[in-house]
Amino acid sequence: MVTDLVSLAIIALIAFACPILCRLIPNKAVPETVLLLAAGALCGPHVLNIVQVTDAMALLSDLGLAFLFLLAGYEISPKNLTGAEGKRGAATWAVTFAVAAVVVAAWPSFSLFSVDGMAVAIALTTTALGTLLPILQERKLMDTRIGSEILAYGTWGELLPVLAMTLLLSTRAKWETILILMAFVAIALLTAAVPKRAERLGGWVYRFVVENANTNSQMLVRTLNLMLIGLTAISALFDLDIVLGAFAAGFIMRYLIPDGDPTLEMKHSAMAYGFFIPLFFVVSGAKIDVTAIAANPGLLLMFIGLLLFVRALPIFISLSLGKTSCDMTVPERLTVAFYCTTALPIIVAVTTVAVGAGAMGQATASVLVAAGGITVFIMPLLASLTAHSVNADLGSALREIREHPRAVGHILAEHRRRERELHRQLKERLRAAGLRHSDVFDLTERCPGGVCPVPEAEDDGR
């Protein structure tokens, strides 16, 4: 008990300090998640040994993972699955999985037909949409064209690896796994149907829940927690990964409140991001064996390189060939591809399954998790750099560098200055038009020749 409380207090201190440290870093270049992982690795049993990964901490960490995938599932809209962008995202994931299978089959350290090899193949195809959402929201990308492409590819990059984990990492016969999965889906559908039926009937229990949504009972929050924990518990009873139950809970939550509920979302986000999700990342970091990473840096770099090859490259090609996306510039396509190569939670999940099955050593799992953590830092950083080059003449800069390679520093500084000037012009014109920059600015808009067009303000009838 004392050990758990001390570990929990240190984790709470880390969770408190990391946002402050992020704010002190220029341009918020390091996401909070990276600092949480790094702090967990530093304080974990492999370094300072002041945070212990006990059964109690592991349970709380699993709840954090569940909350992360609940919110990811809730953010997925049907158009991200069924629209033209969604279909492209699904087809691209299939290509990435095929490429990952070939890569693992050619990798001497793993066998494609064993749990460890299949875990690596799945890890190479994932997009950490739940981890990306706060970054996209902070950078005001959610309602932009680039944001919609990231959601389309990222949705399938999170959903399909979860299903692949369920089907391919199970030690049962495939027909047994499919039957159990069908039974789970039936329970999930029943879980979604009961509240809808209660809403139509308007019975006493439904009225009580609605009337006490914002009292001390907090019945809506308790109902959602019951659904989340209930489905994750059923996943565990069926020997399925709890990620599946959490993802299903997120889908059901979106089905029940398709138009959203800001109050409920705020309360649940407060629970998730205020306690459980930071704890998950710190505990995940504490499991990382830093000495194993130092002993095998080649695997770390190779895995990150393979993520770019297996995940980012097919997405870039898909965007280049898509009818609705081929008009995007190279920097825009690179921005989407880099964001969608951010990976971590699924890597944690698949390596945990592989280690639990005795198919993968903890040292290898530590390296892969560390590589996933690095992508949370480096991929959004690369995406930010390519995004900022959208309104600058990147092609001109590259030509100048090729012609005058010794002046690369001066050339980049000049183009960065030019980019800032274009953004300044746009902001001034928006301000003159009575519009806010965040209302209309989209990375797909250009300022050709240094002239920034401004959308006309809507006529308010005056």
For residue 247, give the nearest of 173, 188, 174 by alpha carbon: 188
**Model pLDDT, residue 203:** 83
Instruction: Please list, in sequence order, all residues whose beta carbon lies within 8 angstroms of the beta carbon of residue 450, skipping any fewer than 6 positions away.
Output: 418, 421, 422, 425
CA atoms of 282 and 287, how far apart (whole Å): 9
For residue 168, give the nearest of 353, 17, 340 by alpha carbon: 353
Per-residue burial over 436-453, b = 16 or more CB atoms within 10 Å of its CB, e = otherwise: eeeeebebebebeeeebe
CA atoms of 339 and 75, how far apart (whole Å): 17
Q: Do the Cβ atoms of 155 and 379 come closer than 8 Å?
A: no
Q: Within 10 A of 401 (CB to CB), how many other CB atoms are there? A: 16
**Model pLDDT, residue 438:** 43
**Model pLDDT, residue 382:** 87
Against a cut of 0.85, is the pTM above it? Answer: no
For residue 122, give the nearest of 85, 149, 158 by alpha carbon: 158
For residue 129, give the nearest of 161, 94, 154 by alpha carbon: 154
**Model pLDDT, residue 12:** 96
**Model pLDDT, residue 459:** 47
Tokens standing for residue 266: 């705020």
**Model pLDDT, residue 442:** 44
CA atoms of 86 and 149, how far apart (whole Å): 9
CA atoms of 55 and 458, how far apart (whole Å): 57
For residue 56, give the nearest of 10, 12, 14, 5 by alpha carbon: 5
**Model pLDDT, residue 230:** 96
**Model pLDDT, residue 261:** 86
Place of tokens 């793993």: 110
CA atoms of 145 and 326, how far apart (whole Å): 13
The amino acid sitting at 161 is P
Distance of CA 442 to the CA centre of its chain: 21
Q: Do the Cβ atoms of 154 and 129 come closer than 8 Å?
A: yes
For residue 36, give the nearest of 273, 270, 279, 271 by alpha carbon: 279
Instruction: Please list, in sequence order, all residues whose beta carbon lies within 8 angstroms of the beta carbon of residue 203, skipping any fewer than 6 positions away.
Output: none
CATH class of 55-389: mainly alpha
**Model pLDDT, residue 441:** 42
Mean pLDDT by 10 residues, the chain (462 residues): 93 96 82 90 92 93 92 78 82 95 92 90 91 81 84 89 87 84 92 88 87 91 94 92 90 87 90 94 90 90 95 94 85 91 89 88 91 90 75 59 72 67 64 54 42 45 42
What string of H, E and C letters represents the secondary structure of the chain? CHHHHHHHHHHHHHHHHHHHHHHHCHHHCCCHHHHHHHHHHHHCCCCCCCCCCCHHHHHHHHHHHHHHHHHHHHHCCHHHHHCHHHHHHHHHHHHHHHHHHHHHHCCCCCCCCCHHHHHHHHHCCCCCHHHHHHHHHHCCCCCCHHHHHHHHHHHHHHHHHHHHHHHHCCCCCHHHHHHHHHHHHHHHHHHHHHHHHHHHHCCHHHHHHHHCCCCCCCHHHHHHHHHHHHHHHHHHHCCCCHHHHHHHHHHHHHHHCCCCCHHHHHHHHHHHHHHHHHHHHHHHHHCCCHHHHHHCHHHHHHHHHHHHHHHHHHHHHHHHHCCCCCCCCHHHHHHHHHHHCCCCHHHHHHHHHHHHCCCCCHHHHHHHHHHHHHHHHHHHHHHHHHHHCCCCCHHHHHHHHHHCHHHHHHHHHHHHHHHHHHHHHHHHHHHHCCCCHHHHCCCCCCCHHHCCCCCCCCCCCC
Tokens standing for residue 394: 């990147």
List Cα–Cα distances, 447 to 206, 330, 458, in angstroms: 54, 16, 21
Plot region of 114 (φ>0 → left; ψ -120 to 50 → alpha; else → beta): beta
**Model pLDDT, residue 387:** 72
**Model pLDDT, residue 461:** 45
